[in-house]
């Protein structure tokens, strides 16, 4: 746990109402921006008041909550808004693998937010709004294979299919990465603005170098209400409207995709049932249509037991079958054997939490890790007994398009 130099303990936090700031992303300065935006609403932030490096291993979410509580403890908070996301807030990113380092919670010095017709500014210490510099193009982009070539990844999918058909497991999610190198340093704000404009239905996020636009809401906690959006089963968009409709209908009727989706919904149900006094799980999925793909989607809602933070729910839910597989322990073993890479923050929880325990966390999908002029892009898909390696490769290519669009447009 580290508090930024120049700040006193306890932290002095002030949240005030402000006039509508317009496009939140245009207010971000160049250095290390944080963001969580959907349909123009959410939070953007910058600066670092405190940082919690979460050690890997079992119980990491509980340790993260305890250490963050120590940061917030005794803070002098003047909050005239008193809404989810007001007062002190931490942005966070957790690695997919509990044994991998890199999970972090950061309390920004400045947060600018808009939600439900209200806007507010939270500052810690002598921070405040900064002048935003013009967005910077990264120039030409060169791509290269990541940990596995396309052919090697298809072979990994084929191996996974054989293990599923042998009865070892029902489903496993296999991911792959792609490396991008730009002419100039990559401006995270440019990626955020492009992603938010192109994918308004998604949650556009930035946290500690991990940037993306995820369609999957892992959990939202507002008071005692908890919500989750389960996505599993995917098809690319069509080349024309009739093709698009036909692809959506085929996805909805696909026994393979419906079974994959049912596995994901069941994993969320099992995770939330012990935490909730009430839980509503739809009997059938709906179709979520995004600019690059279509998904089977199921919104789940519940009433949370007293005293639980959104981080407690994240701990119970990760990893879902949508990003791991079924059964979970076996799927994680197969992922470790076949993927040939460390996912880092990809497919891990990403989002924010406030001092009341409210917050929104997604699964870090359609994302990239940015380091200077380099980016590492990620995509994956659910492998079932009748999965075709070539089709699964095509699905990952469709999912890569989100970040490639952000880098290249």
User: Known catalytic residues?
Assistant: 171, 216
Cis-peptide into 30, omega within 30 deg: no
Three-state SS across 260-293? Answer: HHHHHHHHHHHHHHHHEEEEECCCCCEEEECCCE
Residue matched to tokens 């990541």? 146
Residue of 164, 277, 290, 291 lying closest to 229 (CA atoms)? 290
β-partners of residue 280 are 301
Give the DSSP letter of residue 237: P
Helix or strand or coil: residue 49?
A: coil
Calpha distance 320→263 (Å, rounded): 9
Q: Report how far Cα 43 is from the mean position of its chain's Cα atoms.
A: 14
Calpha distance 156→323 (Å, rounded): 16
- Residues 294, 298, 104, CA angle at the centre, nearest 5°? 90
Residue matched to tokens 């084929």? 158
Which residues, in sequence order, are CB contacts of 156 under 8 Å at separation 6+? 148, 174, 338, 339, 340
Residue of 296, 318, 94 lying closest to 218 (CA atoms)? 318
- Pull the structure tokens for residue 182: 């730009």
Distance, first Cα to last Cα, the chain: 39
Calpha distance 334→162 (Å, rounded): 12
Q: How are beta strands 293-304 and 217-222 bridged, if at all? A: unpaired
Residue of 395, 382, 11, 398 lying closest to 171 (CA atoms)? 382
What count of other Cβ atoms lies within 10 Å of the Cβ of residue 70? 12
Calpha distance 91→107 (Å, rounded): 6
């Amino acid at each position: 746990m580290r508090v930024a130099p120049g700040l006193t303990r306890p932290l002095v936090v002030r949240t005030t109402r402000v006039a509508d700031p317009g496009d939140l992303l245009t207010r971000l300065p160049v250095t290390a921006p944080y963001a969580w935006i959907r349909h123009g609403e959410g939070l953007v932030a910058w600066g670092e008041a405190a940082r919690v490096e979460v050690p890997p291993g079992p119980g990491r979410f509980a340790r993260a909550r305890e250490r963050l509580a120590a940061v917030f403890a005794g803070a002098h908070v003047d909050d005239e808004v008193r809404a989810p996301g007001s007062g002190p807030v931490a942005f966070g990113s957790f690695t997919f693998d509990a044994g991998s380092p890199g999970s972090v919670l950061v309390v920004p010095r400045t947060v600018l937010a808009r939600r439900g017709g209200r806007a507010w500014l939270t500052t810690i210490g002598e921070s405040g709004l900064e002048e935003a510099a013009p967005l910077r193009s990264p120039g030409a982009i060169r791509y290269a294979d990541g940990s596995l070539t396309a052919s090697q990844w298809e072979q990994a999918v084929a191996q996974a299919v054989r293990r599923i058909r042998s009865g070892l497991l029902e489903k496993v999610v296999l991911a792959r990465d792609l490396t991008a190198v730009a002419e100039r340093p990559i401006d995270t704000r440019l990626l955020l603005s492009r992603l938010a404009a192109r994918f308004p239905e998604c949650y556009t996020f930035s946290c500690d170098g991990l940037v993306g636009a995820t369609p999957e809401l892992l959990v939202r906690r507002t008071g005692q209400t908890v919500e989750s959006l389960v996505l599993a089963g995917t098809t690319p968009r069509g080349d024309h409207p009739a093709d698009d409709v036909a692809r959506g209908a085929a996805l909805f009727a696909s026994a393979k995709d419906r079974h994959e989706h049912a596995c994901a919904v069941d994993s969320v149900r099992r995770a939330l049932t012990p935490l909730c006094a009430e839980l509503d799980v739809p009997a059938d999925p709906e179709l979520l249509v995004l600019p690059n793909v279509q998904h089977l989607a199921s919104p789940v809602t519940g009433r949370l037991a007293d005293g639980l933070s959104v981080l407690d729910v994240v701990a119970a839910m990760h990893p879902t079958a949508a990003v791991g597989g079924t059964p979970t322990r076996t799927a994680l073993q197969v992922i470790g054997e076949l993927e040939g890479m460390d996912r880092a923050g990809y497919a891990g929880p990403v989002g924010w939490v406030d001092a009341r325990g409210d917050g929104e966390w997604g699964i870090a999908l359609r994302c990239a890790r940015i380091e200077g002029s380099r980016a590492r892009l990620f995509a994956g898909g659910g492998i079932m007994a009748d999965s075709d390696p070539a089709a699964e490769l095509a699905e990952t290519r469709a999912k890569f398009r989100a970040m490639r669009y952000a880098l290249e447009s």
